[in-house]
Amino acid sequence: MEIVRLGVDDAEEIGPRPYEVRLASAIEFAEGAGEAHAYVIHFEPGGEIGAHEAGFGQIFFAAAGSGWVAGGDGERLALPEGSAALIRRGEIHSKGSKTGMTARMVQVRDLTRVF
């Protein structure tokens, strides 16, 4: 599992395209293959999803508020607003928030490339 910064300061200017691009930047951070699902998850203060095996690769993005993710060893990694945890299929993990968080989660059968 790893944490990826997805803030504007972490993005790169979008290069030449066949169409006009102005004042826009992007971060490409993963690719996947197979069945996919997308969710919005709201954590109340103290909310959590307990340890379980990931049935899909997950991109878990802290959109508002902050939280944490933990691997099979239970060690919590901070997940500040604007960051994402990349969780591979089969990885034991849990997630939650001490203060409240709204997260976006995209699940894809396998994350085939993580930047």
Radius of gyration of the chain (CA): 15
* pLDDT tens, residue by residue, 65-83: 999 999 999 999 999 999 9
Whether residue 17 is predicted with pLDDT greater than 90 in this model: the reply is: no
Work out the number of other CB atoms within 10 angstroms of the CB of residue 25.
Answer: 12
Domain-wise residue ranges, the chain: 2-114
The confidence band for 37, taking pLDDT boundaries of 50, 70 and 90, is: confident
Arch. (CATH architecture) of 2-114: Sandwich (2.60)
Whether residue 15 is predicted with pLDDT greater than 70 in this model: the reply is: no
pTM for the complete prediction?
0.78
* pLDDT tens, residue by residue, 40-65: 899 999 999 999 999 999 999 999 99
